[in-house]
Amino acid sequence: MKKQESIGIGLIGAGERGCYILGARIAELWKETGMAITGIYDINPQRSRDAKVFLENLYQKNGLDLTIQLFASYSDLIASGSVQIVMITTHTDQHRIPAVTALRSGKKVYLDKPIAVNLEDSAAILACERETGNSLIMGFTRRYEAAWRKSYALLKEGAIGALKMIQIRSIIPYTRYFQTWHRKSAWSGGALNDKSSHHFDVFSWFAESRCRSVSAAGGMSGIFPPDPQAPLRCSQCDRDCLYRRRLNPDDQQEGTQVLGYDSWIQADDERNRADTCVYQPGADIIDHAVCNLTFENGVKASLFWSIFGPHAADQETLELVGTIGRIYLTRSEGTVRLIQWGKAEETVFDLKGPEFFTSHYGADLQLIRDIRAFYDGSIPAAGTKDGHNSLNLVVQTLNSIASEGVPMHIQSWEM
Ligand SMILES: NC(=O)c1ccc[n+]([C@@H]2O[C@H](COP(=O)([O-])OP(=O)(O)OC[C@H]3O[C@@H](n4cnc5c(N)ncnc54)[C@H](O)[C@@H]3O)[C@@H](O)[C@H]2O)c1
């Protein structure tokens, strides 16, 4: 068993994403990247303790004898000499303070998406970046996923000519957004922020232009009507229900690890519960939207999004239409089809390497490698400006929905 000097990552927010997804991927790649989680701070001490046991065991299995230090505050963790990279995976409304403190420390910073729940917070992170000259890398997973990178590369090579239209369909039964802390807009910015911050980021990434306007329709579908008689949580319920945690198709596919821990499944506090009944009153998030965007260079983009509907192989697709061809990506199949004028046969790229079957279709492993490259000085695939622009589009989409489709003109854009 090795005891080795590593590039220390300090984890702030040791939940599903920070510990059980990214923490696990970092442990799996430590021999390749030389990075390891050396410190943890979570506002909930039980989560810190559980994460320490989970990760130390994982490092042990991967041949590293590691003792992870638990910190009493985010600022102690950031100041610690054993931390070289600060990784922030707290609830979204809790991103700003650790992000700003970490940027000021001069250390490398990873911040998960969405950047924040409001533009004041994301503007403060942006201003801090400008003031300190330090920058951060953001976790927009599709930026690190093979099929999306391939689509972008094909576009840049001119395979479809000049880009004219982009469409994303995302019909994913992520009813967990009603069951976890995401159910309150004040904590998550809503399901549209949590899920479609990725999609809005993809639009900006591919369009490479300033967005001029957004118009949208959407709201609450009524599929999950608040029921004051509903049990508090799945574990107290014997109803026949499609959305029961652990048993619904998305939980089955993703194997959500936090459902094994008492701090989620026994928690009284709504923010900490992972299995609140989807019908419990109090959720204030929208669950579907259609949305049109116009970019300054003439590109038009459209989003067709819901968090209900059956689990299916084509639940998320990207389509790009250019002057001489089309690109069509099916996310859960890991395929990209290229259709070109004058070619009878389409070309199909199968991007399912061995890592495709790991979290986020392999994107998280690539993200860890990109964090290492960022530590060494590379420019990140996504940073604060991308986070801010994506949130701006989420906010303006919600404004347009609230005013029944009136187009919202985008006043500021970070290039
Ligand atoms: N990039 C992706 O694809 C992706 C996927 C999942 C989640 N996320 C993002 O990761 C973040 C965390 O989500 P999650 O699913 O892990 O949630 P989670 O509830 O499982 O974990 C969040 C943890 O943060 C802790 N926390 C909350 N406030 C804190 C604070 N002020 N200081 C320290 N710890 C605090 C909570 O106690 C909890 O343990 C969110 O911003 C979410 O949108 C990104």
Residues 115, 206, single domain; the answer is no
Q: What is the pLDDT of residue 253?
A: 86
**From the CB of 113, is ligand 1 less than 6 Å away?**
yes
Helices 384-402 and 190-207 cross at an angle (nearest 10°) of 120
Domain count, the chain: 2
Q: Which two tokens stand for residue 321?
A: 């239409």
Q: What is the pLDDT of residue 23?
A: 98
Q: Residues, the chain, total?
A: 415
**From the CB of 92, is ligand 1 less than 6 Å away?**
yes
| For residue 168, pLDDT beyond 60 | yes
**From the CB of 275, is ligand 1 less than 6 Å away?**
no
Residues 391, 350, single domain; the answer is yes
**From the CB of 388, is ligand 1 less than 6 Å away?**
no
| For residue 219, pLDDT beyond 80 | yes
Residues 193, 102, single domain; the answer is no
pLDDT band at 255 (very low <50, low <70, confident <90, very high): confident
Residues 340, 396, single domain; the answer is yes
Residues 120, 19, single domain; the answer is yes
Within a domain: residue 230?
no
Q: What is the pLDDT of residue 5?
A: 63
How far does residue 7's CA lie from ligand 1's centre (Å)?
23
State which residues form the domain around 106. Answer: 7-141
Q: Where are the alpha helices (DSSP H) in 89-157?
A: 96-105, 119-132, 146-157
Mean pLDDT for the stretch of residues 150-168: 98
Contact of 199 with 114, CB cutoff 8 Å: no
pLDDT in tens, 42-60: 999 999 999 999 999 999 9
Mutate to test the pocket of ligand 1, among 97, 112, 254 (most ligand atoms within 8 A of CB): 112
Residues 113, 157, single domain; the answer is no
Q: Report the chain's C-alpha Rg in angstroms.
A: 21
Alpha-carbon gap, residue 324 to 122, rounded angstroms:
38
% of the chain residues with pLDDT over 90: 95
Residues 27, 112, single domain; the answer is yes
Q: What is the pLDDT of residue 254?
A: 85
pLDDT in tens, 2-37: 555 689 999 999 999 999 999 999 999 999 999 999
**From the CB of 387, is ligand 1 less than 6 Å away?**
no
Within a domain: residue 273?
no
pLDDT band at 222 (very low <50, low <70, confident <90, very high): very high
Residues 307, 164, single domain; the answer is yes
- The helix/strand/coil state of 53 is helix
| For residue 235, pLDDT beyond 80 | yes
Rounded to whole angstroms, what are the CA distances from 347 to 29, 157, 318, 337? 33, 15, 16, 6
Average pLDDT over the chain, rounded to an integer: 96
Question: By alpha-carbon position, which residue is closest to atom 1 of ligand 1?
Answer: 139
pLDDT band at 249 (very low <50, low <70, confident <90, very high): confident
pLDDT in tens, 91-128: 999 999 999 999 999 999 999 999 999 999 999 999 99
Mean pLDDT for the stretch of residues 312-318: 95
Spatial neighbors of 276 by CB under 8 A, at least 6 apart, are 178, 179, 180, 183, 232, 233, 270
pLDDT in tens, 369-410: 999 999 999 999 999 999 999 999 999 999 999 999 999 999
Domain boundary among 103, 123, 141: 141
pLDDT band at 1 (very low <50, low <70, confident <90, very high): low
Residues 167, 112, single domain; the answer is no
List phi, psi (to 5°) of 308.
-130, 180
% of the chain residues with pLDDT over 70: 99
**From the CB of 101, is ligand 1 less than 6 Å away?**
no
pLDDT band at 196 (very low <50, low <70, confident <90, very high): very high
What amino acid occupies position 155? L
Within a domain: residue 254?
no
